[in-house]
Each structure stands twice: as C-alpha cells, then as structure tokens.
C-alpha cells in the first residue's frame, strides 16, 4: 500500500505540484477466496499546493501508471528476498514483466451516479470480509458450497470444496495483529489531518465571529437595544442599585381591580397573585362565627400606574 500511494503522490507532485488525499485498502483475496492480493484506492481529483490552496487536477494516464505499477511491484518482490532467493525467482520475475507488456492491471472505472452513494458503497466494499455468509449456499459437515462471480465471463458460478480446504483458504486472509489494512496518505495522513484540524478550527472561529456580526447587523433591534443605541441608560438596569432586571410580568388596574395582563411563566403568575392579595388586604376569615362572611377587598385608590414584576439576574 505504501508503494502504491507513493507512486500516485509522486505523480501528483510532479505534474500538478499538489499533495493529494489517498485512502488505500488492502485485499488479499479473490472471488473464490483464493490468494489474489490487490489494493483499492480512493484518490482526490486534485490536492493542496504548498500555500495550502486547493488545485483541481483530474487527469490520470492509466496506461503509464500500469507500467510504473508493474515496475514498483517487481522491485518490491526482488528487494524483499535474500540474494540466493533472488537468483532463484529472477526468471519468474522476468517472465512476469515480459508477459505483461502493458503493465499490471489497473482498474479505474468512470464515475457513476451520485458521489455520496459511491462513497458508501466503496467504504463497505473496502472493509468487507473474504466471503460473506450470503455467498455460502450449502454445508453438510464435510463440504462447503459457495457462489462467486467469474470475472472472466461475468457469470455467477458455484464451487464445492472440503471443509479443510475452505478453512485453509479463509484463514490465510486474516491479517496479522496490529496490521492496518486501511491506511491514509497525503493530505489524509494523520500528520496532515492534525494540521488541517488546527487550520479548520481557526477558520471556523473567524467565520463564526463574522456570522455573528452579520446576524447582529441584519437582526431587528429590540426596544432595549434601540434605547441604549440612542445614548440613554439601559432601561432594565435599576438607577438606584444598578442591578439588571429581566421583565417577567405585568399587572394593570381595570375597573378598580388589579388584573394580571402578562405572566411569562407559572412562577410569575403565582407571585403576581400573591402580590395582588397582599396589596388588596384580603385576610383569613375569623373563627367563632356561625356563618362565614365574605370579606370585601379594601378600596384601591384610583391610579393609572402599572405594577410590573422583574427578576434579578
């Protein structure tokens, strides 16, 4: 995976002077659960320049990449064995190079459908196991029958193997402990992602301040903001104690009786009712009387003033 990502990264840096983002996934299995190692890659069509700007670049010469990929793979095999083993396998490597004149296989289909749907499919495909349960058609304790798609003719076929053969095919695809079958490169690498997170966080803070400033400019001012903007004192700040009070409710005098006109919550209404009872002087009935007499409220002096309730914050 590292070699394949390095191949594409070097190509983008050479041709477009950008660093692309690459997500690579390693599969060691084929459709018949046989050993068929290959790499799946998601590559951005463009990348970041040295100045941190995005630059579009969507041309990939796959014919050239096939030959380069062939060279990279054969060099990896040659460098990964001992000198004695290298001499033994050199004829095979030469034959693999000669028989594949166009290079090793590189499959790059054109974009189909919506991008989000493709990403969901590719994300599931990269992380899929060697064989799904839905592909197993029969099992009798000795043999396993499973279906697969033959990519040579595109038809669905079935294969029956012994349990031992099936298990041996399957366990060879279990990755080693701590081996990452999915890796990120370029601007998707951990180092670049941490840097991008810092840049994005700084940008979001600046953007948030700008959005808040625009909202304040476009939003209609409240009566309190208009009074303060005109140069007068804050109407919700007491001139004596200089405490801030928040408007909660209002009581008005109508037909000689105090009535609650505004109560923003149940607590406010209950408090206003107690205040009205205290101001009107209602008392508890006296004991010892056979009949309860209804106590009339004390006359309230006629006034046009309003009784307002404020909560200190």
Domain ranges of the chain: 2-130+163-202, 131-162, 233-281+300-313
Q: How much is the pLDDT for 144?
A: 96
Q: How much is the pLDDT for 174?
A: 93
Mean pLDDT, all residues of the chain: 83
Contacts of 46 (CB under 8 A, 6+ apart): 16, 18, 20, 54, 55, 56, 57, 58
pLDDT tens sequence across 236-287: 888 888 888 887 888 888 888 888 888 888 888 988 888 888 887 754 444 4
Does the predicted TM-score (pTM) go above 0.75? Answer: no
Give the lowest-confidence range in 47-56, 96-105, 194-203.
194-203
């Amino acid at each position: 995976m590292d070699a394949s990502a390095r191949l594409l990264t070097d190509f983008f840096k050479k041709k477009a002077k950008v660093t692309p983002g690459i997500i690579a996934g390693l599969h060691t299995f084929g459709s018949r659960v046989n050993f068929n190692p290959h790499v799946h890659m998601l590559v951005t069509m463009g990348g970041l320049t040295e100045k941190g700007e995005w630059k579009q670049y969507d041309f990939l010469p796959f014919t050239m990449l096939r030959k380069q990929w062939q060279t990279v793979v054969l060099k990896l095999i040659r460098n990964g064995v001992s000198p004695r083993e290298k001499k033994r396998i050199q004829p095979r490597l030469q034959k693999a190079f000669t028989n594949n004149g166009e290079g090793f296989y590189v499959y790059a289909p054109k974009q189909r459908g919506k991008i989000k749907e493709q990403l969901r499919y590719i994300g599931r495909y990269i992380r899929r196991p060697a064989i799904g349960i839905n592909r197993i058609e029969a099992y009798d304790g000795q043999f396993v029958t499973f279906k697969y798609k033959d990519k040579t003719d595109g038809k669905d076929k079935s294969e029956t193997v012994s349990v031992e053969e099936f298990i041996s095919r399957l366990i060879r695809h279990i990755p080693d402990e701590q081996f990452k079958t999915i890796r990120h490169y370029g601007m998707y690498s951990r180092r670049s992602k941490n840097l991008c997170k810092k840049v994005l966080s700084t940008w979001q803070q600046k953007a948030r301040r700008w959005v808040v400033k625009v909202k304040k400019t476009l939003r209609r001012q409240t009566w309190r903001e208009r009074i303060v903007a005109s140069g007068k004192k804050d109407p919700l700040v007491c001139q004596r104690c200089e405490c801030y009070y928040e408007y909660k409710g209002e009581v008005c005098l109508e037909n000689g009786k105090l009535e609650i006109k505004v109560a923003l919550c149940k607590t406010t209404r209950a408090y206003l009712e107690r205040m009205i009872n205290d101001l009107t002087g209602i008392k508890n009935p006296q004991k010892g009387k056979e009949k309860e007499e209804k106590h009339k409220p004390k006359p309230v002096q006629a006034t046009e003033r309003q009784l307002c309730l404020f909560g200190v914050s």
